[in-house]
Amino acid sequence: MDEGLEDLYAWVDTVPLTRPKKAFNRDFADGVLVAEIVHFFCPRLVQLHNYSPANGLAGKQYNWYTLNQRVFRSLGLSFTKQQLSDAASAIPGSAESILKVLRARL
């Protein structure tokens, strides 16, 4: 595993999340854990009740698009529809790439 990813995973482990991480790309696919991470660092920025766990792709994409519009934009970030779709589809490395950018901003 590359050193940057180990560092990212260690950073994520400092945040108390509501569910354990088993398969990173699948666990982060619905965007809920990302919302929890942002909420941990910037509580006023994220209303956690707006993000519900989702099994279907449409629900996962909705959470990611909502994060992009309401939260990431407030942080001066914007991800492409493809990046968000990849994360919602649990494509390996996609959630990590978003979290790396997010971490640098938080």
pTM of the model: 0.95
Q: How many CA atoms lie within 13 A of 61 on its CB side?
A: 10
Q: Which residue is listed with tokens 């569910």?
A: 19
pLDDT in the model for residue 1: 66
- pLDDT tens-digit readout, 5-44: 999 999 999 999 999 989 999 999 999 999 999 999 999 9
Domains and CATH numbers, the chain: 3-104 (1.10.418.10)
Query: Residue 3's pLDDT band (boundaries 50, 70, 90)?
Result: confident
- pLDDT tens-digit readout, 37-86: 999 999 999 999 999 999 999 999 999 999 999 999 999 999 999 999 99
Angle at 69 between CA 77 and CA 50, to 5 degrees: 120
